[in-house]
Chain A
Amino acid sequence: MKKVILLVEDDELDVISVERSLKKNDLDYELYTAYNGIEAMEMLKSNNGEIKLHPDVILLDLNMPKMNGIEFLKALRKDEKLKDIKVFVMTTSGDEADRKTTEQLGVSGYLIKPLNFNNNSKRTDSMDGFFQFHIRKIFAS
């Protein structure tokens, strides 16, 4: 079944990583990409409040310019029509406060992007490996 995914991520390399992971896994998907929270909101709603896009899953980075992930998540959970969308947080921040805040707002997963990438590490420790592993799980959810 085709899944509609909205990726909210300011780092273009991560966007490419996600795209490559989706392709490599041979999954049926439709990917939309926004580079910050405001862009993402604009993709979801028009100015008069009409829903333009209702993705199955939002992959959300936290540290972004203009509107960060937490602000976006708050706005999303306030919107009657959008509040039930599954959100997976993907961040490099190991900050416990961020994890708590997002979990209180309701997320389906909190994934810490790996910073280790040498060849000896576990498979999920490389960036590509990480995205491939989690994308499969997210799809299965």
Chain B
Amino acid sequence: MKISTLIFLGFSVVLTLSLVDSYVNNLLSRQVNKNTVFLANSESVIRNSSKLHKSIIDMQSAFRGYLLTDDENFLTPYDSGLKEIPRLYIEQRRLVKDSAPQLSRLDSIFALHKNWVNYANDLISSRRESLAANGSSNRYRELFDTKFRKQVGQKLNSKISDIFRDFDRFEYKIRETRRDTLTMSIERTETFSFTFVILTIVVAVTTSVYVVKLISKRIAMMVNLAESISKGKFAIVKDNKNDELTSLSTSLNIMSERLSKNIKELEKRNSELNQFAYVVSHDLKAPIRGIYNVVQWIEEDLANEISPQMRKYLSFIPQRINRMEGLIDGLLDYARISRDKALKEVVDVNLLLKDIVDLLVPKQFTVQIGEMPVLFTERIRLEQVFSNLISNSVKYTNHADSQIRISYKELNHFYEFTVEDNGIGIDPEYNDKIFEIFQTLREKNDQESTGIGLAIVKKIIDDQHCTIRVKSELGQGAKFIFTWPQN
């Protein structure tokens, strides 16, 4: 799976969870809202119910008061009740319109009240008539006896009160249930929200941790590969995934393989070349040795028979052969530098230089060697470098005051050695050329100069990843400066 797909999937899951959370929260809060509205509504119903009941009771009291006292003032609450009660009834009806049992109770109350109002109206109007006729109204008497005495109104009233009691009780009960439901739905909403938030966080964190780990693991693998390549180990990274990083690791692997192949090829070529140089040098020597012997034999056996001119010509042969030998030996040494592995050991450069000078430098030279360091290095290589540089100085310094000076200074991780003479020097024009193989600035028949010594020096110093340079002017002596690893 591609990493971008994975990230996209992770985000989608988180987003979906958030959406579901919001939607459910919305649903739940609506329910809470609905319950709250219902409770507020129910409050109004109860308040209205008591108002209505009170008005009805007030009317009844007013009615009884008037009948006892005949005082019209008593009828004020009665009249206002007549107007108020239908209005309250309509309002209450609107409030309980969703509850059929309450509606029917309310209607019964209203119907009973209407009956009572008819009854009360009849009594009141007949009473007034009777008062107007000075108590001689039969109708009032009749009504009083048949209805009031028989407690028709009182019965209606107690029925109304009963229904009111039922009405309120019912309303309170519903409210109780609703209140429980509201508490529950609030709790449910909280739990649900909490769970969803946790779930969302878990999914988001898990996805990011997984993706980050996945990427960093893959990158670490490639960094390791790059590191081992830089150390010359051409490993390969194993990658059985198929995503954006795969092409990178594939490229790295191809690069590593190619580098490895090229370097192996290079090493093979190099060793073939060294082998070739070695074999050639070795095989070249045998015929020359033969020639040399034949000349020797001629000189030994036929000394009396050869003319002076012939002797002179013959004498050229050993000269040229010696030069040839020098060239071949140089070539052999040059090839051996890479062919033979040198071992590291503790080398006291003071002693090393003393031995070399004793062996190579003629007595008439003044040699100055400063205090030299002791290092852990390949003795044979350092010896070859100094030998070649010193013998080079000896070769090109030939006057009454011949001097060779050797000194060093310490650099970061390296020593910098200087071999200096006051010989014939080198034209700066040739300063680079002298390190190339077979480049000598002497005439070709000079047997001591083969043009290999400095090439060997250069090759050894290159193998150590160090540098050599020359500072010289024609006639001003030469100064060879090279670096060498401290360890």
Is B285 within 8 A of A115, CB to CB? yes
B354 at the A interface (CB under 8 A): no
Is B282 within 8 A of A92, CB to CB? yes
Annotate B273-301 by CB proximity to A: 1 below 8 A, 0 otherwise. Answer: 00000000010011011101110110000
Closest CB-CB distance, B131 to chain A, in whole Å?
160
Q: Which residue of A lies closest to B296 (CB)?
A: A128
Is B286 within 8 A of A115, CB to CB? yes
Is A16 within 8 A of B297, CB to CB? yes
A133 at the B interface (CB under 8 A): no
Distance A128 CA – B294 CA, assembled complex (angstroms): 11
Closest CB-CB distance, B327 to chain A, in whole Å?
12
Closest CB-CB distance, B70 to chain A, in whole Å?
156
Distance A127 CA – B295 CA, assembled complex (angstroms): 12
B322 at the A interface (CB under 8 A): yes
B473 at the A interface (CB under 8 A): no
A97 at the B interface (CB under 8 A): no
A-B contact count (CB 8 A): 35
Is A20 within 8 A of B297, CB to CB? yes
Q: Which residue of A lies closest to B290 (CB)?
A: A13
Q: Which residue of A lies closest to B322 (CB)?
A: A118
Distance A57 CA – B276 CA, assembled complex (angstroms): 36
Is A127 within 8 A of B322, CB to CB? no
Is B325 within 8 A of A127, CB to CB? no
Is A128 within 8 A of B290, CB to CB? no
Residues of B within 8 A of A29 (CB): none
Is A127 within 8 A of B293, CB to CB? yes
**Secondary structure type dominating chain B contacts:** helix
Closest CB-CB distance, B360 to chain A, in whole Å?
13
| Chain B interface category by residue count | 10 to 19
Give the total of A residues in contact with B, Cβ under 8 Å: 14
Annotate B291-319 by CB proximity to A: 1 below 8 A, 0 otherwise. Answer: 01110110000000000000000000010
Contact A117-B286, Cβ < 8 Å, known A16-B297, A20-B297: no
Residues of A within 8 A of B318 (CB): 119
Is B289 within 8 A of A117, CB to CB? yes
Is B282 within 8 A of A115, CB to CB? yes
Is B282 within 8 A of A117, CB to CB? no
Considering only residues 5-52 of chain A, those with a C-beta below 8 Å from chain B are 11, 13, 16-17, 20
Distance A11 CA – B283 CA, assembled complex (angstroms): 14
Contact A11-B325, Cβ < 8 Å, known A20-B297, A92-B282: no
Considering only residues 86-121 of chain A, those with a C-beta below 8 Å from chain B are 92, 114-119
CB-contact partner of B293 in A13, A115, A119, under 8 A: A13
Annotate B111-137 by CB proximity to A: 1 below 8 A, 0 otherwise. Answer: 000000000000000000000000000
Is B325 within 8 A of A13, CB to CB? no
Residues of B within 8 A of A127 (CB): 289, 292-293
Instruction: Give the one of A13, A115, A116 with max B CB within 10 A.
Output: A115
Distance A92 CA – B281 CA, assembled complex (angstroms): 12
Distance A92 CA – B286 CA, assembled complex (angstroms): 8
Residues of B within 8 A of A115 (CB): 282, 285-286, 289
Annotate B354-396 by CB proximity to A: 1 below 8 A, 0 otherwise. Answer: 0000000000000000000000000000000000000000000
CB-contact partner of A116 in B290, B294, B297, B325, under 8 A: B325
Closest CB-CB distance, B187 to chain A, in whole Å?
94
Residues of B within 8 A of A116 (CB): 285, 325, 329
Distance A39 CA – B321 CA, assembled complex (angstroms): 34
Annotate A127-139 by CB proximity to B: 1 below 8 A, 0 otherwise. Answer: 1100000000000
Considering only residues 304-358 of chain B, those with a C-beta below 8 Å from chain A are 318, 321-322, 325, 329
Distance A43 CA – B288 CA, assembled complex (angstroms): 31
Is B285 within 8 A of A128, CB to CB? no
Residues of A within 8 A of B321 (CB): 117
The 7 closest A-B pairs by CB, nearest first: A115-B285, A13-B290, A117-B292, A118-B322, A127-B293, A117-B289, A92-B286
Interfacial residues, chain A to chain B (CB-CB below 8 A): 11, 13, 16-17, 20, 92, 114-119, 127-128
Other than the known A92-B285, A115-B286, what 19 A-B pairs have Cβ atoms closer than 8 Å? A11-B286, A11-B290, A13-B294, A16-B297, A20-B297, A92-B286, A114-B289, A115-B282, A115-B285, A116-B285, A116-B329, A117-B289, A117-B292, A117-B293, A117-B321, A119-B318, A127-B292, A128-B293, A128-B296
